[in-house]
Amino acid sequence: MHRDASTPDFLGLRAALHVLVVAVTALVVVRAAPPDRWTVVPLAALLLAVYAAGGLAGRRRTPGRARAWLAALTASWLALVAVSPLAGYLVFPLYFLYLHLLPRRWGAAAVVAATAAAATATLRGGGLTVGGVVGPAVAAGVALAVDLGYRVLAREAAERERLLAELVAARAELAASERAAGALAERARIARDLHDTVAQGLSSIQLLLHVAERADPGAAGVPHVRLARDTAAASLAEARALIAELAPPPLAGQGLRAALRRLADTQWSRPGFAVDVVGPDRDADGGAEDGEPPVQVATALLRIAQGAVANAVQHSGAARVEVRLQRLPGATRLAVVDDGCGFDPAAVAERTASGAGHFGLRAVRERVEQLGGVLEVRTGEGRGTAVEVELPDAPAVSLPLATTGAGVPA
């Protein structure tokens, strides 16, 4: 009966076992005849002392010590039953101890041996009787049946605990998915509101200022109008960039690689410029050959790829960009490699530290650090640029940005 000793049913059974041992031992002492009483009393005291020592050991008892204690208890019981056949009734609590402390086969064998010893003890009391043999045998059968029932209950309880743990994990995952979906929906709503209000308003202001500038080119206020128009244009660009950041990525139902390919065929497609996407694709069942990263990781990698390709288009003069996607155990790696002019890492680091320019690279670094990933930018003047990112599937400790001047063959 390998049950958790802290459960209420086990505690009740153990208390009943203690009471039974003490009661039967006291009965043996009381029923002992005067000639044998002087032998029965010390043997009974020894048996109770050994039994109490095992109870005091409690959870500190190792399997080896438990078996040694059980052997000592059995020896003291055999010595007592040799003097008083009435002590044979103590075999019933011993059955449960054998089944609980010994392996299953050894416990059953010990029950059979103890039954034979209890039946043999009746010889001293006047010879073998039906009651002396059937009683211990029936008690052994009851103990084995109870042990089997407890084992079945233990397996069912373990299965219920496993199913409950899976249910709790599934509920937590569902809650996380619902929170992520709610966050994406809220981001989409904010993006729509910004587009319909701020972006549209700035676009209208820019258009009106442009008309005012052309209406009277020689007016004294034209420089101020031009400055206001440039400011509105810059604010409009920032608003559109913010809308692009907030808008949910086109990942639903297709996966990260398919979304990158769709961008390569649409937004990134232009004369004299090619984008190749290489990486694991979804299989026929809608899964992924190497697994699909979590939605927050896929979203971040898609945004990083968009920013890196945009930089290659606007600043590097690249003619070819390769977007490499790779699934690792518990992580996803993205590399965006171009054959452009590259840049000086030291100069960029100095400008980034001063807060001047290269906001895109700084934003990528912050996004990667928030997700506990690694970002490495390898570049050099005239040698192209490679932006490599590795993001874990689960949040981790953030790692710093690394920028090296190694050449990047595209």
Q: What does the DSSP assignment read for 167-197?
A: HHHHHHHHHHHHHHHHHHHHHHHHHHHHIII
Query: What are the tokens at 229?
Result: 């128009």
Please check the confidence at residue 146 and state whether its pLDDT lies above 70: yes
Query: For residues 334 and 328, what is the distance between their CA atoms, to the nearest angstrom?
Result: 11
Residue 334 is predicted with a pLDDT of: 94
CA 369 to chain centre: 21
Could you tell me which residues are beta bridge partners of residue 270? 273
Higher pLDDT, residue 347 or 57: 347
Asked if residues 48 and 111 have their Cβ atoms less than 8 Å apart, the reply is no
| HSE-CB for 81 with a 13 A CA cutoff | 22
d(CA 98, CA 69): 11
- Give the model confidence (pLDDT) of 188-238 as tens digits: 677 767 766 777 777 778 777 777 777 777 676 777 777 887 787 777 777
Query: Which pLDDT does position 410 carry in this prediction?
Result: 38
Eight-state DSSP code of residue 405: -
Predicted confidence (pLDDT) at residue 277 exceeds the cutoff of 80: yes
When pLDDT is cut at 50, 70 and 90, the band that residue 335 belongs to is very high
pLDDT tens across 360-374, in order?
A: 677 778 888 888 899
For the chain, the average pLDDT equals 75
Instruction: Choose the weakest-confidence range: 43-52, 74-83, 123-132, 191-200.
Output: 123-132
Say how far apart CA 92 and CA 243 lie, in whole Å.
78
Query: In the structure encoding, which two tokens stand for residue 80, read together?
Result: 């007592």
For 251-410, which CATH superfamily applies?
Histidine kinase-like ATPase, C-terminal domain (3.30.565.10)
- Residue 321's H or E segment, with its range, is strand 320-328
Q: Using alpha carbons, select from 305, 287, 285 the residue that is nearest to residue 367.
A: 305
Q: How many CB atoms lie within 10 A of CB 102?
A: 18
* Tens-place pLDDT, residues 231-269: 877 777 777 777 666 665 566 556 788 888 888 888 888
Spatial separation of the C-alpha atoms in residues 373 and 240, rounded to whole Å: 27
Mean pLDDT for the stretch of residues 375-404: 72
125 Cβ neighbours under 8 A, 6+ residues apart: 85, 86, 132
pLDDT greater than 90 at residue 342 = no
Query: Residue 407 pLDDT more than 70?
Result: no
Alpha-carbon torsion angle 199, 201, 206, 210, nearest 10: 150
Model pLDDT, residue 336 = 93
So what's the pLDDT on residue 112? 81
Max alpha carbon distance in the chain (Å)? 137
Q: What is the pLDDT of residue 401?
A: 41
Q: What is the mean pLDDT of residues 128-155?
A: 72
pLDDT of residue 390: 94
Confidence of residue 131 (pLDDT cuts 50, 70, 90): low
| Cα 322–Cα 308–Cα 248 angle in degrees, nearest 5 | 105
pLDDT in the model for residue 397: 40
Reported pTM: 0.41
For the chain, the domains span 8-128, 251-410
Class of residue 118 by CB neighbours under 10 A (exposed 0-12, middle 13-18, buried 19+): buried
